Structures are given as structure tokens and as C-alpha cells.
């Protein structure tokens, strides 16, 4: 009997330790009691799904911009679950109020940084800016879509990377996704943290900018919408991918349910999102934005 009791207590301890890594106690309670004032369940895009707070207006962007592209991302029907790459629901379903209508490759590679790389790359592809598609590996070596399409492939030896023409030219969309799988393999939060331009003023933040901590593991989330009032105060919507690879989703604000899903963001501060806490916030921007 004592042995069974010890086994039971051990299992409870393991579950508790695992759960605390994802902040479930506080966040589960907050998620259950949250009734988002700004939710429009019938909204089919990020912009339509979330209403603007009183006395705020959405910041205006050109219709051809990356900012407009992100704000108008299509969402699955309200209530859609966050799904892992293997087709199974993610264990925690209380931290989001929208799931982007973007597939999750079954290879498990499209994790947090990769999901945002995917969004950026799809935008450049769709707006015929393919020459701008390129990212650094964690080693610092730059890998462009143009070179990949021409048949150049990396040879990786430790931290040394060289590129050699070993394949025929292929500029197809299918090969574009092969390229992204390569980027997902050798890039991540650390490479984005090192490569991208840092934004040093909240006033300068734009949709598409990212809150990041580089590391193994690190994490990164993207600003999906911004509103501003006459006093210049701003509120932000956030989206994220995650590990394991899963649906990109629009986040609730479980730390301040009175304004959820909008967030107040500050530089060099602690910012908590469902599943992760950034202890010293840093924002970066894709080059050419």
C-alpha cells in the first residue's frame, strides 16, 4: 500500500513540475474567467476578430505592406483548436481566441521562429519580392531563396558552412517549401535575435515586429495589430507559433483580462504570454521593413 502511495505521489510531483513550466495554474484560472469584451466570434481575419477599444483607432498601413498582410490574415472559425504537427490538439487550449488558417507541416520543423519566418516568406513570395527571401543560419551564414532555387545547397561541417551547386534550378512553390524546411532546420530564435534590427522605442513598433529572446530554447512572438489613442497610448495584438510545431494562433492577455486580447507593451520589461514569460523584452524587425 505504501509503495502504491509513493508511486502516486511521484506521479503528482512530475505532473506539477511539467505544468509549472507552462504557467498553467495562474493562466488556467485567468482563461476560465476571461470574457473578452473585444471579441467578435464571427470575425474571419485578425482585424475582424478583435474590436478596437473605446477612444482608440487602428494605426493605418498601406494595403501592399507587410503590416496590412498580417492584420488581414485569415482565421479559422471561432473555437478552432491549436493543432500540433502530428494532427493532435495541443494540450493547452485556453490561451488563444483565433487560429490562423495556415497549415502546419507534418515534419515538426515549423516551430516558434519558423512560423514567423513562414509568414514573412509567404508575404514576399505573394508580392513578387522573392529576391528578398533569405535568412541567416545560427552560424551566421546567409541562405537566400534565389541561390537555393538555382540549385545551391549548404554543406555544413560544425560551424563552417559552404554552398555548392548540387541540384538543378527549380523556382517552383513546392521547392520554395523545401527551402523553408532547410531554413527551419538551421535558423531559429538565436539567428533572428542576432540578424535582425532592434527597435528601441515603443512608438516605433509596427505590426510584424517581434518580441524575442534568443536561445536554446528561446521564444519569439509577432505583433499582429496596433491601436492608438489621441494621447499616443498604444495597445497590441500578438500571435505566436510554438514548440512542438503547431498552429499559429492569436493570443489572449491572461495577465490583464480587462483589456484582453490587447496588450500594453514596454521595453526592457517582463511580458507574459500564454506559455512563456519574456523577462527583459526586446523587439526586432525583419530587414527592409
pLDDT in tens, 49-97: 999 999 999 999 999 999 999 999 999 999 999 999 999 999 999 999 9
Do 249 and 261 form a contact (C-beta atoms < 8 A)?
Answer: no
pLDDT in tens, 158-208: 889 999 999 999 999 999 999 999 999 999 999 999 999 999 999 999 999
- Tell me the three cell numbers of residue 196: 535582425
Find the mean pLDDT for residues 109-135.
97
Q: Which residue has the cell 476571461?
A: 34
pLDDT in tens, 4-57: 333 344 444 433 333 334 444 455 555 555 565 899 999 999 999 999 999 999
254's enclosing H/E stretch is: none
Q: Please report, in angstroms and rounded to a whole number, the separation of the first and last CA atoms in the chain.
A: 65
Can you list the alpha helix ranges (DSSP code H) found in the chain?
A: 2-20, 24-33, 46-49, 66-71, 112-126, 145-149, 173-186, 189-195
164's enclosing H/E stretch is: strand 160-165
Banded pLDDT at 215 (limits 50, 70, 90): confident
Q: How far apart are CA 179 and CA 137, in angstroms?
A: 13
DSSP line for 244-269:
S-B--EEEP-SS-TTTTT-B---TTS
DSSP β-bridge partners for residue 163: 154
Closest CA to 69 of 274, 176, 224, 188: 224
* Cβ neighbours for 71, distance < 8 A, ≥ 6 positions apart: 45, 46, 47, 58, 61, 207, 224, 225
Q: How far apart are CA 61 and CA 208, in angstroms?
A: 12
How many CB atoms are closer than 10 A to CB 119? 23
Answer positive or negative: Cα dihedral of 105, 285, 221, 56.
negative
Strands 197-199 and 283-285: antiparallel
Mean pLDDT, the chain, whole residue set: 90
- Tell me the three cell numbers of residue 176: 520554395
User: Which pLDDT does position 34 carry in this prediction?
Assistant: 55
Closest CA to 247 of 120, 123, 46, 93: 93
Q: Which residues of 10-30 are buried (b: 16+ CB within 10 A; e: fewer)?
A: eeeeeeeeeeeeebbeebbeb
Amino acid at each position: 500500500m505504501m509503495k502504491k502511495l509513493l508511486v502516486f505521489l511521484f506521479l503528482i510531483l512530475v505532473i506539477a513540475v511539467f505544468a509549472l513550466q507552462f504557467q498553467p495554474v495562474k493562466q488556467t484560472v485567468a482563461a476560465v474567467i476571461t470574457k473578452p469584451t473585444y471579441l467578435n466570434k464571427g470575425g474571419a481575419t485578425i482585424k475582424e476578430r478583435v474590436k478596437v477599444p473605446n477612444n482608440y483607432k487602428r494605426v493605418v498601413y498601406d494595403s501592399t505592406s507587410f503590416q496590412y498582410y498580417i492584420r488581414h490574415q485569415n482565421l479559422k472559425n471561432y473555437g478552432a483548436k491549436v493543432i500540433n504537427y502530428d494532427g493532435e490538439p495541443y494540450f493547452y487550449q485556453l490561451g488563444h481566441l483565433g487560429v490562423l488558417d495556415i497549415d502546419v507541416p507534418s515534419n515538426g520543423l515549423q516551430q516558434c521562429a519558423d512560423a514567423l519566418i513562414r509568414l514573412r516568406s509567404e508575404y514576399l513570395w505573394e508580392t513578387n519580392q522573392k529576391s528578398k527571401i533569405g535568412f541567416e543560419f545560427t552560424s551566421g551564414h546567409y541562405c537566400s531563396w534565389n541561390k537555393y532555387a538555382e540549385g545551391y545547397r549548404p554543406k555544413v561541417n560544425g560551424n563552417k558552412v559552404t554552398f555548392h551547386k548540387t541540384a538543378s534550378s527549380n523556382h517552383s512553390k513546392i521547392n520554395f517549401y523545401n527551402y523553408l524546411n532547410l531554413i527551419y532546420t538551421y535558423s531559429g530564435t538565436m539567428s533572428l535575435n542576432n540578424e535582425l534590427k532592434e527597435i528601441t522605442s515603443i512608438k516605433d513598433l509596427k505590426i510584424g515586429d517581434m518580441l524575442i529572446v534568443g536561445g536554446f530554447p528561446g521564444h519569439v512572438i509577432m505583433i499582429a495589430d496596433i491601436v492608438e489613442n489621441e494621447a499616443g497610448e498604444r495597445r497590441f495584438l500578438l500571435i505566436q507559433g510554438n514548440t512542438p510545431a503547431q498552429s499559429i494562433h492569436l493570443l489572449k492577455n491572461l495577465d490583464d483580462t480587462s483589456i484582453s486580447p490587447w496588450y500594453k507593451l514596454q521595453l526592457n520589461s517582463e511580458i507574459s504570454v500564454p506559455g512563456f514569460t519574456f523577462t527583459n523584452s526586446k523587439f526586432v524587425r525583419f530587414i527592409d521593413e
